[in-house]
Amino acid sequence: MATSESLRKLVHLGCKQIGLDNDTRRDLQLVATGKASMADMTDADLLRVVEALKQRGFKVGFPGRKPGRHPVAPRADLRLIHVLWSKLGDANALERPGRDGLNAFIRSRFEGKWQAVPIDVDTLRDSDQINDVIRALKDWCKRKEVPLQ
């Protein structure tokens, strides 16, 4: 279930997508829930507003992508990081096999070594940093006897 904060963000995203200004959004909220302010709404109220936005053309998600999926990494070396992480996950070698786990691994492993650690792996641009991550993941695969082929 989505949190109130994420539902509020979804309402704002929907309004932006279909071109509603703040006054029109408040009018829509009043019609959908009887409340003009999102601060006064329960999660159920916010869901009613999201449904009202969908009826007016709001499309949740990204066309052509599966829900919850991130776009493909922009560089082949970054995609290799995702592949290695996935192999470790398939081998049950990870506590947090998803993207959040990969980002947490990079932060914990390289925070002291790099001046700045990116919030998301796909924003890495420094080839030395990317190679550091690839080396660390390949070493982990070897320790866990995860085949790299």
Q: Does residue 71 have a pLDDT over 70? A: no
Instruction: Report the half-sphere exposure of 33 (CA within 13 A, side-chain side).
Output: 24
> For residue 5, what pLDDT is reported?
85
Q: What is the mean pLDDT of residues 45-72?
A: 75
pLDDT at 120: 86
User: How much is the pLDDT for 133?
Assistant: 95
26-42 mean pLDDT:
93
Q: Name, in order, each residue with C-beta under 8 angstroms of 102's C-beta and a sequence gap of 6 or more.
A: 81, 82, 85, 121
pLDDT for res 115: 84
Look at phi and psi of residue 145 and say left if phi exceeds 0, alpha if psi is from -120 to 50, else beta.
Answer: left
Global pTM reads 0.53
Q: Give yes or no for a contact between 67 and 61, defined as CB atoms under 8 angstroms apart.
A: yes
Which residue has better confidence, 2 or 146? 146
**Residue 67: what pLDDT?**
53
Burial class (CB in 10 A: 0-12, 13-18, 19+), 131: exposed
